[in-house]
Amino acid sequence: MNRPFPPLPGRLLLLACVLLPFAVHAAAPAPTPWRVGAAARKLTPPGPVWLAGYANRTAPSAGVDLDLHAKALSLDDGAGGRLVLITLDLIGITAELRAHVEREGATRFGLRPHEILLNASHTHSGPLADPARMMVEQIFRRSARPEDVAATEAFAAALRTTVVELLGASLAAAAPARLEFAQARAGFAMNRRRPEPGGGISNNPHPDGPVDHDVPVLRVAGADGKTRALVFGYACHNTTLSGNLLSSDYAGHAQRDLEEAYPGVTALFVTGAGGDQNPYPRRGVPGQTSEQLARQHGRALANAVHTALAARPRPVAGPLRAALAPALLEYDPLPPAALTAYGPATHTPEVVARARALAAAQTRGERPAPLPCAVHVVRLGSDLTLVAIAGEVVVDYALRLKRELAGPAAIWIAGYSNEVFGYLPSRRVLAEGGYEAVGANTRLLIHPGPFAPDAEDRVVARAHALLRSLQP
């Protein structure tokens, strides 16, 4: 006899099997104590400015390819733990900007230094905003007209105001939220330290070099479950472009793509340990301009964020705890013969004066003061740990910290955070030499020499110690 339905107990089971998945899916998510607020401001200057990043530019910007933004996300765990993340479409963050934001953040909003995290996208098509550093000495002061100097100073002032304003705006926008973490990968970053047959390291694509292709994503949903903000990271220089147009490069395109895909969402890009990584191809290839390539890399990164969200985001619970402290990095002295190479025929008077002062200090047996490298650790319960390091952090730091901190919490490594003082090479990179080890940091004697080989160990030890201090 045909029985179209199983007997009663079986029927109930069948009914439950059919209905349960819907019931689970439709259940309202449990409320969380998180309160999160996002805010964004355009940073694009109103007129031509000198751009930062490439020393071969000979004129101010010639137009806009893609707008630059500053964005903020305030996180409050409802139990006294809070953090404001500020992301900037800029080449870096000066110590002066960081100090200003800390000061104003404390005075106006009662924020403590460890409650403010700044990260720069390292676009090489953003304005010069550092009136005291290398590009200024090397080119800008020599070539700039008074109106160019005024435009740069106006941008630097507007930047300071905007960042402080964003702290307040993101705190004021705080609303009940849920957090989720997810991760996928994108492949356009490649190691750029190519060993040459005759010895030495050149700045060229090196497919066999180490990379970190992870794309970590923090999704912020409102009480209604709708996406409100997306924070995502990638370890790669933001240098697809090399022209003289203002642009936020691939990181800007990725943010814009996501904001178009999710209307009303604020997308924030966090640069990872991409100090020795470049986006490839770059600077144009046959049939494609550099602007088209930047758009493609941005789309690839946005697609990785979509993929991460489709995978299976994990809920992120509090409490939020953060700690910020410097690792003190010692310098190896430059040989006296190297210092004599900084002469007036090839260098500006400022650089020559620094070389002479360094040589005199060496003669007196003095060692340069160590550099404080900010290490910022943010722990979101046992679900997510973010380690954000100052400087142009090379990829070895991310790979090592992800290995050493592996555990129940997802590990997110950011570079270019809180201050960008130049490159932060690893022990391996220092031993190999090349641009990220010595060349970039000592080219204009912004640093008195290369970092000592234990720089990596000091930074990693600081990260471990800070994380231990945050254990419940």
- Strand ranges in 280-346 using DSSP code E only, listed in sequence order: 314-316, 320-329
CB of 195 to Zn ion, least distance (A): 20
Report the relative pairing of strands 227-234 and 266-271 from DSSP bridges. parallel
How far is it, in rounded angstroms, from Cα 241 to Cα 289? 9
Q: What residue is closest to Zn ion based on CB?
A: 392
Cβ proximity to Zn ion, 188 vs 262, nearer residue: 188
Task: Tell me which amino acid residue 54 is.
Answer: Y
Cβ proximity to Zn ion, 313 vs 425, nearer residue: 425
CB of 320 to Zn ion, least distance (A): 30
Cβ proximity to Zn ion, 53 vs 318, nearer residue: 53
CB of 345 to Zn ion, least distance (A): 27
Cβ proximity to Zn ion, 259 vs 392, nearer residue: 392
Cβ proximity to Zn ion, 191 vs 266, nearer residue: 191
Cβ proximity to Zn ion, 392 vs 419, nearer residue: 392
Quick check: 111 and 84 in contact, CB under 8 A?
A: yes
How far is it, in rounded angstroms, from Cα 307 to Cα 421? 34
CB of 311 to Zn ion, least distance (A): 31
Footprint on this chain of Zn ion (rule: CB under 5 A): 392
Cβ proximity to Zn ion, 115 vs 436, nearer residue: 436
CB of 293 to Zn ion, least distance (A): 18
Nearest Cα residue to 420 out of 440, 405, 400, 403: 440
CB of 213 to Zn ion, least distance (A): 19
Cβ proximity to Zn ion, 65 vs 392, nearer residue: 392
How far is it, in rounded angstroms, from Cα 239 to Cα 54? 10
How far is it, in rounded angstroms, from Cα 35 to Cα 222? 9
CB of 339 to Zn ion, least distance (A): 25
Radius of gyration of the chain (CA): 24
- Dihedral sign of CA atoms 411, 416, 418, 421 in order: positive
CB of 408 to Zn ion, least distance (A): 34
Q: Is 463 helix (H, G, I), strand (E, B) or coil?
A: helix
Please tell me what DSSP assigns to residue 331: B
* Buried b / exposed e along 339-378 (16+ C-beta atoms within 10 A): beebeeeebbebbbebbeebeeebeeeeebebbebbbbbb
How far is it, in rounded angstroms, from Cα 398 to Cα 306? 23
Cβ proximity to Zn ion, 412 vs 416, nearer residue: 416
H or E element: which one contains 47?
A: none
CB of 398 to Zn ion, least distance (A): 15
Token pair belonging to 398: 């991310």
Cβ proximity to Zn ion, 291 vs 392, nearer residue: 392
123 HSE (CA, 13 A, CB side): 35
- Strand ranges in 350-397 using DSSP code E only, listed in sequence order: 371-380, 384-389, 392-393
Where do we find the tokens 């178009």?
260
CB of 392 to Zn ion, least distance (A): 5
